Amino acid sequence: MLYDEHLDGNMELAEPQIFVMKRSGERIIFDESKIRNAIQKANLEEGILSARLSEKEITSITEGIKKDAQNAGRDLSVEEIQDKVEDALMDTGKHSVARLYITYRYKRNEFRKMSHVDQKIAGVVERDNEEVKQENSNKNPVVLSVQRDYMAGEWSRYYTSKYLLPNDIVAAHQDGLIHFHDADYFAQHMHNCDLVNLEDMLQNGTCISGTHIDTPKSFITACTVASQIVAQVSSCQYGGQSITMSHLAPFVDVSRKKISARLHNEFAEAGVVLSEDKFNHIVEQEVRKEVESGCQTIQYQLITLQSTNGQAPFVTAFLYLNEVPEGQTREDLALIIEIMFRQRILGVKDEKGYYITPAFPKLIYVLQENNITEGTPYFYLTKLAAECTAKRMVPDYISEKKALELKGDCYPCMGCRSFLTTDRFTDAGIGNIANAMNYQEGKHRYYGRFNQGVVTINLVDVACSSGQDEEKFWEILEDRLNLCHRALRIRHERLLGTPSDVAPILWQDGALARLKPGETIDRLLFDGYSTISLGYAGLAECVYYMKGASHTTEEGKSFGLKVMKALNDACKTWKEAENIDYSVYGTPLESTTYKFAKCLQKRFGKIPHVTDKNYITNSYHIHVTEPIDAFSKLTKEAEFQVLSPGGAVSYVEVPDMQNNLPAVISVIQHIYHTILYAELNTKSDICDRCGYTGQIQIVKDSTGKLVWECPNCGNRDQSSMHVARRTCGYIGTQYWNQGRTSEIADRVLHL
């Protein structure tokens, strides 16, 4: 139970050093905190407070065993130390705690006899696998459905590494040279993320769980159906999805006509005569109420619904005025956007009645010429967006100006940041290969398309492996890219031959296609209809190691852009050879940032400014500790975002801006002119114990572990506080591993 794993980090040790002999024969440094933690675990399991040990007793036992180890004249074994713990616990007279410790020790001994995959699954079931517990900040590992998903995921990882991947790719993944994403779902023939063709499903009908759904006859019904579609889609893939509110906007007028007819009849029957203006005013009031109900349905459904993997659907709602024509439909879309902002500003109530920040749906608002400055028709929406961002961290922002300049079209990312490549199959005359019922000849198509999967290259490892030899760096980079290419091909080939029957909502009922039963999805994997992503991480540390400077400097930028160009050149070569749309993707590392950091430290030690943190930097981002103002950060990162056509998002870290909305609007306007996709990160926390709202702080506990603490009442119970932080594009609300928590703590403000 004690000393089963290597120590993390350096410890301040009294001289002379004490060593312990592990069961494997390995000699490691004595760590008294492991003894304390083991006793505390047993102590907390004792339900009767008076039967528990005091902190003073725990300290006395720990220090006593440390003295025994010092005076032993040799290295004590793990078993000997555990025997001493048992004896000391019995000597306190707290026999129930001693029995709990002995039972736990027995369970741990039995645990070691299990196979690796069995140990992982047992760790999930017993809720003592810290790696799994903090793998995903939007999953609660205590919930049975999440545990079931994690258990299946452990088996999938085992099956994938043993039977589906070559040994060298498995080894590279385990060593942190690359990351083969979502191996916990790879055993099944599943894809990553997509843009749902909601318009086709709503306007032409669909089928959910074997039940045919006709075209909705009202806005609120359309919202309900859309929510059910999102939940179904989420259960058939492992990535995020995006829907656009433009596909719901036409149903507002459907409701308007229905309401108008009803009120006309009611007033006629009552003998009430109203002027046309008065009647229309009443109708519009009723329409607004229905839109409010519909938008609330979407918000609450998508928060409370669970997909089969035990979490709320990872979904983004796209808010783009120019996606619909001028006139009534655009005005109705503006109404939807306004109401969604107002409802998000309010938040949702937790179980104690406090208003908190929900994680989903993520909102993306498009900045365009008619909403970006005072005096434009929809600037009032942008001001509401600024208020919402300052309070709830959403919406994020896409610049129509930059989208048209860089991509030729303006369309949403899939999920949190993955962008489709620009439509090339329409211009090539390939036609309606998905059999979509809303297909329009010659019109570029984005909804109904998807991403096949991701493999990420660790750029920091490439740099460190080169020993700062630039010629060697490019050789290693080429080798690693070839490794990534082979891994990506395996992802692609895993989808080849997949019949539409595996996920009817996706492939037969319109979300992505309307294929026939038994028909394979193969033709949707080529010609640019779908994408596959070469991810990358750690450009900041890579550049610093090679050049001794940040990529915000001219020398660092030049090298960083050269690296990014090499990634794009590789994707271009593969694409031309295989007719598959490979694309460079700024990976949103969450738990993997910690894994990569630990692998780097194991391979290269702690190199200042490179491997000395418990995390590495996402994609091309400027390092979180580097002082820089918001406008300069966005401007500098925009040059790199251009070279991440497969997806990337920039952010600026800001303090509480609720009383300084003009500054928020200034940043938003800068985004419009400068960068395709960006977001503002603020803090949106609440302590249930004392009602404090503001920023819950990160502090170190007595063992050196980073924990969250209310600055008002000192509460450290994570179950009685709500912390919302953006960590990988999405807002996370279930806390993070020590690597990501360390990164959050290190972030400097940019405004």
Per-residue pLDDT averaged across 395-405, rounded?
98
pLDDT computed for residue 130 by the predictor = 53
| pLDDT over 90 percentage in the chain | 66
**Number of neighbours of residue 682 by Cβ within 10 angstroms:** 24
pLDDT, mean of residues 412-439 = 95
Active site (annotated) includes residue 709: no
**DSSP per-residue letters across 642-656:** TT-TTB--EEEE---
For the segment 345-368, the average pLDDT, to the nearest whole number, is 90
The answer to whether residues 255 and 221 touch, using CB atoms and an 8 Å cutoff, is no
Task: Judge whether residue 40 has pLDDT over 50.
Answer: yes
> What distances in angstroms separate CA 714 from CA 81, 355, 630, 700, 718, one per listed residue?
34, 21, 32, 12, 12
Is residue 355 annotated as a catalytic residue, yes or no? Answer: no
More confident residue, 484 or 89: 484
pLDDT surpasses 50 at 538: yes
- Note if 418 is an active site residue: yes
43-47, 64-68, 657-661: range with lowest mean pLDDT? 43-47
Secondary structure class of 190 (helix, strand, coil): coil
Residue 6 has pLDDT above 50, yes or no: no
| Mean pLDDT along residues 234-245 | 94
Among residues of the chain, what percentage have pLDDT more than 70? 90
Per-residue pLDDT, averaged over 262-285, amounts to 96
Is 568 an active-site residue? no
Residue 622's CB: how many other CB atoms inside 10 A? Answer: 22
pLDDT tens track for 546-595:
999 999 999 999 999 999 999 999 999 999 999 999 999 999 887 888 89
pTM: 0.83
Q: Quick one: tokens of 571?
A: 């994707």
* 21 is a catalytic site residue: no
Nearest to 500 by CA among 479, 482, 486, 517: 517
Q: pLDDT digit string (tens) for 460-471?
A: 999 999 999 999
Instruction: Evaluate if residue 12 carries a pLDDT over 80.
Output: no
Write out pLDDT tens, residues 510-526.
Answer: 999 999 999 999 999 99
Which residue out of 453, 510, 729, 739 is catalytically annotated? 729
Q: What is the pLDDT of residue 157?
A: 87
pLDDT at 432: 97
Give the model's pLDDT for residue 24: 66
| The pLDDT of residue 395 is above 80 | yes
Q: In this model, does residue 734 exceed pLDDT 80?
A: no
Q: Which of 410, 414, 484, 721 is catalytic?
A: 414
- Three-state SS at 681: strand
Least confident of 45-59, 287-301, 621-635: 45-59
* pLDDT at residue 8, as a whole number: 40
Widest Cα–Cα separation across the chain: 103
- Bridge partners of residue 582, in order along the sequence: 532
Distances in whole angstroms, Cα of residue 540 to Cα of each of 132, 469, 624: 28, 17, 10
Catalytic position from the list 218, 307, 418, 550 = 418
Per-residue pLDDT for 623 more than 80? yes
Beta bridge partners of 243: 317
Of 714, 544, 551, 517, nearest in space to 622 by CA: 551
Domains, the chain: 194-684+724-746 (3.20.70.20)
Q: Are 258 and 213 in contact (CB under 8 A)?
A: no
142: confidence class by pLDDT, cuts 50, 70, 90:
low
From 290, 590, 679, 709, active-site residue: 590
Catalytic site residue from 101, 397, 585, 730:
585
DSSP 703: T
> Which of the pair, 681 or 735, is modelled with greater confidence?
681
User: Is position 729 annotated as part of the catalytic site?
Assistant: yes
CB 255: neighbour CB atoms within 10 A?
A: 23
**Greater pLDDT, 21 or 643:** 643
Active site residue: 21, 193, 657, 721, which one? 193
How many other CB atoms are there within 10 angstroms of residue 183's CB atom? Answer: 19
Instruction: Supply the pLDDT for residue 124.
Output: 57
Q: What are phi and psi of 296, to 5 degrees?
A: -65, -35
Mean pLDDT confidence for 463-487: 98
With a cut of 90, say whether residue 43 has pLDDT above it: no
> Mean pLDDT, the chain, as a whole number?
90
Q: Which of residues 23 and 240 earns the better pLDDT score?
A: 240
Q: Which of 129, 136, 192, 242 is catalytic?
A: 192
The pLDDT value given to residue 13:
39
CA atoms lying within 13 Å on the CB side of residue 391:
18
Mean pLDDT value across residues 436-465:
97
414 catalytic, yes or no?
A: yes
Is the predicted pLDDT of residue 268 greater than 80, yes or no?
yes
Res. 481: pLDDT tops 70: yes
Does the pLDDT of residue 439 top 50, yes or no?
yes
Question: With bands split at pLDDT 50, 70 and 90, how would you rate the model's confidence at 349?
Answer: confident
DSSP structural state of residue 246:
G
Asked whether residue 434 carries a pLDDT value surpassing 60, the answer given is yes
- 10 included as an active-site residue: no
**DSSP secondary structure string for all residues of 728-751:** SSSEE-S---HHHHHHHHHPPP--
228-250 mean pLDDT: 95
Please tell me whether residue 399 adopts helix, strand or coil conformation.
Answer: strand
Amino acid at 494: R
Question: Distances from the Cα of 166 to the Cαs of 170, 444, 505, 536, in angstroms?
Answer: 6, 38, 33, 21
Which is the catalytic residue, given 416, 546, 571, 687?
A: 416
Q: What is the pLDDT at residue 632? A: 98
Least confident of 39-43, 138-142, 393-397: 138-142
Predicted confidence at residue 118, as pLDDT, reads 57
> Which of 137, 451, 568, 715 is the catalytic position?
451
Do the beta carbons of residue 744 and residue 590 sit within 8 Å? Answer: no
pLDDT band at 49 (very low <50, low <70, confident <90, very high): confident
Question: Does 657 qualify as catalytic in the annotation?
Answer: no
Reply yes or no on whether the pLDDT at 390 is more than 50.
Answer: yes
